[in-house]
Amino acid sequence: GECESSTEGDGGMTAKEYMKQAKILLRRIDRKQKEADALRQKLSVPQSPDFSDMPKAVSPTPNEIETGVAKIISLEEEIFVFRTKLDSMIAEVNNNISKLDNSDMRDLLTKRYVEFKAWKVIFSEMGYSKSSAYRLHQEALSIIKFGTSWDYVGLDESSNM
């Protein structure tokens, strides 16, 4: 929906900006997790021996293990930082959503901004047409405040964190 904007003049972040930040964080967490898992597997499973006459190093060398473990630890620290940031963003939005009187609005915003569900999924789960869901969404966004002052540290797409 192109309708995820608000005109708050308090340095608040719009719903659209929130979704963009959250998606960047989710992608980063996923990428780092995959990297850490791949490393873990590489370190724990001996490479299959090659049945040639040449002697093969079947297991990673102590040095490879040390480097790998250090890399895993640093990846996990980064994952933790991103996850903590994401969790605090979600918690703040969730808290604001819970203050809405209208339970349909609460449901809709929770599915969209806490569970990050696609609009199609939301329409079908709530039994709404596209237009009524968007209308409800607009109404809800005119009431609710998104994040007050999330910092954007290192959250631009281009940074390779």
**Integer-rounded Cα radius of gyration of the chain:** 22
Cα(98)–Cα(90) distance, rounded to whole angstroms? 12
pLDDT digits (tens, 9 = 90+) for 106-138: 999 999 999 999 999 999 999 999 999 999 999
The number of residues in the chain equals 161
pTM given for the model = 0.72
pLDDT digits (tens, 9 = 90+) for 36-85: 999 999 888 555 555 555 555 567 788 888 999 999 999 999 999 999 99
